[in-house]
């Protein structure tokens, strides 16, 4: 890495050099001038005393031979052979990425008695599904699953590995990436492939204030996790052409310090994840009592209530109903936002909705950039009007759109 080299033979009087550092990162001892951990690499010392301080550029690191890494791989997240929907979404994206560079699409499926279920993946245009079917792999245990994933990568050498942003995927992906000393980008919202097989990985960063564009140009494979409902599910191919390959791993690699004693099924609670209609309350809501009109609107539309981070932190809405990268990602048929400005992090969690209606009194609010219908007005006026129309039995949006739509 880049560093500042000190030429001790050029030091006549250390005092001026020590004083030049605004961070107090230069000190003098029996070995001469030294830089401490407080150094911010501002290079002011180099500018003032070039004979003493010399900036040394980072040596160019030799990257991997990219030609030896081919293909886009998808980790199949499943429960006893029932494949999680996020896997199908990743298959669609994997096919798009692979087609750009003429690569194949692979799948990795781990478990017990899953070989038959793996055949379902071929219907989505997959070239090869590698299955590790073993009683020791019945339950997810991090040590053997990591060893299996590592073996899969060593055998096929895929250029890209996509993993669903589930509890299992978030535990597994970073461990496998560490095995190969490569990068991992979590919660990607955009993925694209360059001609040289470098993966463009884009995700919100710094609290959603910027969109970080991340590359892994000198390492392979390139790992990325993606949340459920970010991408669209692909259609099935007319004639599947791929194959299912059953692979084995030594018993010593399947050992684990974890023993599964019992699995207790958690009762599924109704929420926003699979809701077809969602009403979102934002910081435009002035007090908790005002949530009553939002609940009333949701009741009349058969919708679920959601909220932005501000209202969650106020305790007005349950944390499980937060939308955004720090909450849930949703893709309903209809979503109505009330008093939501539309921060990047929030939009990333709901932009896949089929129909987006935004209510905000600020015509410049970012939410209107993704909304299909924008209503500029005070939600305390608009929501009661919508309720009156609904109660009267009229078509809710049978209005003069030139007055309400942007």
Domain ranges of the chain: 3-56, 66-253, 277-404
Q: What is the DSSP letter of 98?
A: H
Strands 184-185 and 105-111: unpaired
Residue 109 near residue 121 (C-beta atoms within 8 A): yes
Specify the CATH number for 277-404; select among 3.40.50.1220, 3.40.30.10, 2.160.10.10, 3.20.20.70.
3.40.50.1220
How far is 368 from 55, CA to CA, in rounded Å?
Answer: 48
Q: Do domains 66-253 and 277-404 have the same CATH topology?
A: yes
Neighbours of 248 (CB within 10 A): 12
How far is 90 from 86, CA to CA, in rounded Å?
Answer: 6
Rg of the chain over Cα atoms, rounded to whole angstroms, equals 27
How far is 406 from 397, CA to CA, in rounded Å?
Answer: 14
| Of 44, 154, 55, 48, residue with least CA distance to 106 | 154
At residue 277, the 3 state secondary structure works out as strand
Instruction: Give me the phi and psi of 126, to 5 degrees please.
Output: -80, 140
How far is 90 from 232, CA to CA, in rounded Å?
Answer: 8
How far is 240 from 213, CA to CA, in rounded Å?
Answer: 35
How far is 370 from 335, CA to CA, in rounded Å?
Answer: 12
How far is 367 from 326, CA to CA, in rounded Å?
Answer: 18
At residue 283, the 3 state secondary structure works out as coil
* Cα-based distances in Å from 300 to 94, 264, 291: 40, 36, 14
How high is the pLDDT of residue 208? Answer: 66
Torsion angle of alpha carbons 309, 187, 123, 76, nearest 10°? -110
Domain 3-56 has CATH 3.40.50.720: no
Q: For the whole model, what pTM was predicted?
A: 0.77
Cis peptide leading into 221, omega within 30 of 0? yes
Query: What are the structure tokens assigned to 97, written together?
Result: 């990425």
CB within 8 A of 97, min separation 6: which ones? 72, 103, 160, 191, 192, 193, 199
Neighbours of 394 (CB within 10 A): 11
| Of 283, 151, 170, residue with least CA distance to 227 | 170
**Which parts of the chain register pLDDT below 50?**
398-406
Domain 66-253, CATH:
3.40.50.620
């Amino acid at each position: 890495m880049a560093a500042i080299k000190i030429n001790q033979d050029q030091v006549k009087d250390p005092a001026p050099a020590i004083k030049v550092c605004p961070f107090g990162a230069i000190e003098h001892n029996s070995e001469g001038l030294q830089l401490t951990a407080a150094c911010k690499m501002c290079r002011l010392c180099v500018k003032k005393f070039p004979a003493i301080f010399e900036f040394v550029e980072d040596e160019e690191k030799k990257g991997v031979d990219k030609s030896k890494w081919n293909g886009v791989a998808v980790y199949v997240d499943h429960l006893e052979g029932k494949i999680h929907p996020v896997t199908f979404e990743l298959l669609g994206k994997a096919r798009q990425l692979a087609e750009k560079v003429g690569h194949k699409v692979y799948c990795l499926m781990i478990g017990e008695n899953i070989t038959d279920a793996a055949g379902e993946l071929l219907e989505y245009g997959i070239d090869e599904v590698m299955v590790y079917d073993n009683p020791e792999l019945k339950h997810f245990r991090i040590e053997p699953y990591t060893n299996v994933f590592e073996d899969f990568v060593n055998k096929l050498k895929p250029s890209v590995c996509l993993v669903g942003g589930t509890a299992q995927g978030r535990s597994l992906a970073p461990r496998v990436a560490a095995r190969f000393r490569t990068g991992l980008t979590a919660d990607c919202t955009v993925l694209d492939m360059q001609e040289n097989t470098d993966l463009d990985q884009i995700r919100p960063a710094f609290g959603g204030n910027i969109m970080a564009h991340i590359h892994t140009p000198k390492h392979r494979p390139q790992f990325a996790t993606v949340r459920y409902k970010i991408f669209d599910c692909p259609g099935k191919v007319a004639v599947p052409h791929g194959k299912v390959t059953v692979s084995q791993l030594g018993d010593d690699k399947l050992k684990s310090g974890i023993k599964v004693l019992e699995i207790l099924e958690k009762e599924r609670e109704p929420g926003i994840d699979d809701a077809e209609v969602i009403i979102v309350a934002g910081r435009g809501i002035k007090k908790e009592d005002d949530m009553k009109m939002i609940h009333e609107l949701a009741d009349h539309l058969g919708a679920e209530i959601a909220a932005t981070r501000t209202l969650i932190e106020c305790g007005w809405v349950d944390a499980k109903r937060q939308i955004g990268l720090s909450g849930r990602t949703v893709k309903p048929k209809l979503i109505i936002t009330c008093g939501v400005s539309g921060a990047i992090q929030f939009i990333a969690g709901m932009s896949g909705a089929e129909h987006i209606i935004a209510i905000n009194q600020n015509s410049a609010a970012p939410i209107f950039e993704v909304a299909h219908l924008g209503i500029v007005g005070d939600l305390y006026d608009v929501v009661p009007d919508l309720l009156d129309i609904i109660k009267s039995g009229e078509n809710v949006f049978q209005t003069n759109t030139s007055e309400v739509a942007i």
